[in-house]
């Protein structure tokens, strides 16, 4: 049976997928996508997702690209750092989202090897 | 009206300060837990003089870990995070947490107790008190943690203070396996230092509440398989569950779970070096609580040690702005 990734890891994967396509993902989009996958679980709420994002940023796996205010709420846009990409090798091939990651895998490996 | 920059800073500072608070709470609760465990260890069946000296503490550590594992699982059931347990355990992150569990549980705890047995409590306490410095050094090397001179000085002061507070003059007893005991004490300090690094690495992508739950469960299983059978501790283990002291043990389990959850939050939010330095403040709380509850007067070295720890902690947590970016990776 394939397991989902831990929610925090999945948030990082989403940010990495966008970053490798040179796209930016913002807080709203992350919350929306995570809700689609983990929405039935009680842990899946805005505050937990927000804390996970801040934790990923604090340890340098993602970087805040741009911040703006919308309807009295801070909206941040994020991109992955090299170390964030590096952690993608820890996605087990039994993970539900592993196949989704396959098209990006080669590009990320090339990027990491190129910049090291 | 505040601009975007200050709002972002405010949000990040709130997160960093929360991390400091968690680390301090882990220290306070660890102090309470140590007092409760100290009491339980004087009660039946742990006060049995017929068994080897090392059996009671190891059986106690096993029950303590088991209770904490059970309670953190219950807590995760309550918070709706329990599905993350299997996701974490059966992933590559689970391996890091397993290493962390081996380092801290059977390796460090057994090393600590064997150290006390072979080299005496004073030398072992001094050596094992260095674990925050070891953890900070390993975190700088392997996790690229950013620590400035002031923070490093603070960590060092916390270690020196803990050594001072916990130091008792050697008794003069001749320990035939003294040097082996010293090696075991070093293993214990290394084990605790490594636990923080492996745990923090796993927690980069795993919720700290899940990481600690997996860690405690694995640690408990390892005690049951690799430690208890070798010390013939099952009799004492079963006796402990029917003893009246189990109620106090259960309370210690609750306090210990709070301590571990906040400790892992601290590691993840403030970094290994800072969290460990703030956690070691537990020696102050033990002394204060011991004085309040039992009326035990502190000796001069305890008071001086505590003051040094307080000063060190202030240096460590003095500027939360430094905790907004914990690590410096090469881009």
The alpha carbon of B329 is separated from its chain's Cα centroid by a whole number of angstroms, namely: 27
Lowest mean pLDDT among A40-44, B69-73, B177-181: B177-181
Q: How far is A82 from chain B (nearest CA, A)?
A: 6
Q: What share of chain A is helix, strand, coil (3-state, %, to 5)?
A: 55, 20, 25
**Sequence-ordered strand ranges (E) for B187-316:** none
- Decide if B218 contacts B154 (C-beta within 8 A): no
Q: Do the Cβ atoms of A58 and B7 come within 8 Å? A: no
Q: Which residues contact A103 (CB under 8 A, 6 or more apart)?
A: none
Question: In this predicted structure, what is the pLDDT of residue B182?
Answer: 87
Residue B93 contacts A, CB cutoff 8 Å = yes
What Cα–Cα distance (Å) separates residue B274 from each residue in A29, A57, B48, B125, B259? 33, 18, 39, 21, 16
Q: Which residues contact B26 (CB under 8 A, 6 or more apart)?
A: B259, B260, B262, B263, B265, B266, B275, B278, B279
Cβ neighbours of A87 in B, within 8 Å: 204-205
Q: How far is B196 from chain A (nearest CA, A)?
A: 14
Residue ranges covered by each domain of chain B: 40-323
Q: How far apart are CA B260 and CA B49, in angstroms?
A: 31
Lowest mean pLDDT among A80-94, B171-185, B198-212: B171-185
What Cα–Cα distance (Å) separates residue B238 from each residue in B60, B63, B185, B235? 11, 10, 29, 5
Question: In this predicted structure, what is the pLDDT of residue B169?
Answer: 65
Q: How far apart are CA B131 and CA B195, in angstroms?
A: 10
Q: Do the Cβ atoms of A58 and B269 come within 8 Å? A: yes
The alpha carbon of B121 is separated from its chain's Cα centroid by a whole number of angstroms, namely: 18
B221: confidence class by pLDDT, cuts 50, 70, 90: very high
What Cα–Cα distance (Å) separates residue A61 from each residue in A13, A102, B329? 11, 20, 9
Q: Which residues contact B241 (CB under 8 A, 6 or more apart)?
A: B63
Q: How far apart are CA A65 and CA A79, in angstroms?
A: 7
In chain A, the residue whose alpha carbon lies closest to the alpha carbon of B268 is A55
Tokens of B142: 């392997």
Cα torsion A31, B202, B199, B9: sign: negative
Mean pLDDT (whole number) for B170-189: 80
CATH number for the domain spanning A83: value is: 1.10.10.10
Structural domain contains residue A32: yes
Structural domain contains residue A2: no
pLDDT tens sequence across B109-153: 888 888 887 887 777 877 888 888 889 989 999 988 888 888 889
Residue identified by tokens 């905790």 is: B323
Q: How far apart are CA A54 and CA B259, in angstroms?
A: 22
Q: How far is B212 from chain A (nearest CA, A)?
A: 14
A80: confidence class by pLDDT, cuts 50, 70, 90: very high
Mean pLDDT (whole number) for B301-321: 82
Q: At what angle are helices B246-270 and B234-242 packed, to 10 degrees?
A: 110
Lowest mean pLDDT among B234-238, B248-252, B274-278, B281-285: B281-285
Contacts 24+ apart (CB under 8 A), B16-19: B16/A58, B16/B269, B16/B270, B16/B320, B16/B321, B16/B323, B16/B324, B17/B320, B18/B265, B18/B269, B19/B265, B19/B266, B19/B268, B19/B269, B19/B270, B19/B274, B19/B275, B19/B323
Tokens of B66: 């088991």
- Decide if B208 contacts B261 (C-beta within 8 A): yes
Residue B240 contacts A, CB cutoff 8 Å = no
Cβ neighbours of A68 in B, within 8 Å: 4
Question: In this predicted structure, what is the pLDDT of residue B170?
Answer: 63
In chain B, the residue whose alpha carbon lies closest to the alpha carbon of A61 is B204
Structural domain contains residue A84: yes
Q: How far apart are CA B319 and CA A12, in angstroms?
A: 28
Q: How far is A42 from chain B (nearest CA, A)?
A: 5
Total of domains in chain A? 1
Cβ neighbours of B79 in A, within 8 Å: 42-43
pLDDT tens sequence across B47-98: 888 887 788 888 998 999 999 999 999 999 999 999 999 999 888 888 999 9
Q: Do the Cβ atoms of B87 and A4 come within 8 Å? A: yes
Q: How far apart are CA B212 and CA B208, in angstroms?
A: 6
Tokens of B306: 């505590």
3-class DSSP state of B194: helix
Domain span holding position A91: 7-115
- Chain A 40-79, CB below 8 Å of chain B: which residues? 41-43, 51-52, 54-56, 58-61, 64, 67-69, 74, 76
Cβ neighbours of A8 in B, within 8 Å: 205-207
Q: How far apart are CA B217 and CA B94, in angstroms?
A: 12
In chain A, the residue whose alpha carbon lies closest to the alpha carbon of B5 is A67
Which of the given ranges, A52-56, A89-93, B141-145, B182-186, has the highest pLDDT on average?
Answer: A52-56
Residue A96 contacts B, CB cutoff 8 Å = no
**Sequence-ordered strand ranges (E) for B108-223:** none
Tokens of B308: 């040094």
Q: How far is B164 from chain A (nearest CA, A)?
A: 33
Would the pLDDT of A115 be above 60? no
Residue B326 contacts A, CB cutoff 8 Å = yes
Mean pLDDT of chain B: 87
Residue B293 contacts A, CB cutoff 8 Å = no
- Decide if B95 contacts B142 (C-beta within 8 A): no
Mean pLDDT of chain A: 87
pLDDT tens sequence across B235-265: 999 999 889 989 999 999 999 999 999 999 9
Residue A5 contacts B, CB cutoff 8 Å = yes
């Amino acid at each position: 049976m394939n397991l989902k990734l831990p929610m925090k890891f999945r948030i990082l994967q989403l940010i990495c997928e966008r970053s490798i396509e040179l796209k930016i993902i913002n807080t709203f989009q992350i919350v929306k996508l995570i809700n689609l996958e983990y929405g039935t679980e009680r842990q899946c709420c805005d505050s937990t997702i927000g804390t996970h994002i801040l934790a990923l940023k604090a340890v340098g796996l993602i970087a805040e690209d741009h911040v703006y205010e919308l309807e009295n709420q801070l909206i941040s846009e994020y991109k992955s750092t090299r170390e964030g990409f590096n952690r993608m090798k820890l996605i087990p091939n039994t993970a539900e989202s592993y196949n989704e990651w396959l098209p990006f895998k080669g590009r990320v490996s090339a990027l990491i090897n190129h910049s090291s | 009206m505040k601009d975007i920059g200050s709002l972002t800073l405010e949000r990040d500072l709130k997160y960093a300060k929360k991390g400091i608070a968690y680390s301090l709470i882990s220290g306070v609760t660890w102090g309470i837990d140590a007092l409760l465990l100290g009491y339980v260890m004087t009660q039946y069946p742990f006060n049995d003089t017929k068994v080897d000296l090392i059996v009671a503490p190891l059986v106690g550590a096993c029950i303590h870990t088991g209770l904490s594992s059970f309670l953190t699982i219950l807590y995760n059931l309550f918070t709706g995070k329990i599905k993350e347990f299997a996701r974490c355990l059966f992933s590559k992150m689970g391996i890091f947490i397993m290493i962390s569990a081996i380092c801290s549980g059977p390796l460090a705890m057994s090393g600590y107790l064997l150290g006390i047995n072979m080299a005496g409590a004073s030398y072992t306490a001094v050596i094992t008190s260095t674990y925050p410095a070891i953890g900070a050094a390993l975190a700088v090397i392997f996790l690229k943690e950013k620590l400035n001179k002031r923070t490093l000085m603070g960590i060092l002061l916390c270690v020196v203070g803990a050594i001072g507070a916990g130091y008792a003059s050697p008794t003069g007893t001749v320990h035939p396996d003294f040097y082996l005991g010293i090696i075991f004490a070093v293993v214990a300090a290394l084990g605790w230092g490594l636990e923080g690094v492996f745990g923090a690495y796993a927690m980069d992508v795993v919720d700290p509440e899940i990481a600690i739950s997996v860690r405690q469960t694995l640690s408990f299983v390892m005690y049951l398989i690799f430690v208890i059978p070798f010390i013939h501790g099952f009799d004492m283990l079963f006796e402990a569950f029917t003893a009246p002291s189990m109620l106090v043990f259960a309370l210690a389990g609750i306090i210990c779970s709070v301590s571990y959850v906040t400790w892992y939050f601290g590691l993840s939010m403030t970094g290994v070096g800072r969290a460990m330095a703030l956690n070691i403040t537990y020696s102050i709380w033990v002394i204060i609580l011991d004085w309040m509850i039992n009326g035990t007067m502190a000796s001069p070295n305890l008071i001086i040690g505590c003051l040094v720890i307080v000063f060190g902690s202030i240096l460590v947590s003095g500027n939360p702005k430094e905790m907004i970016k914990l690590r410096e990776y090469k881009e």
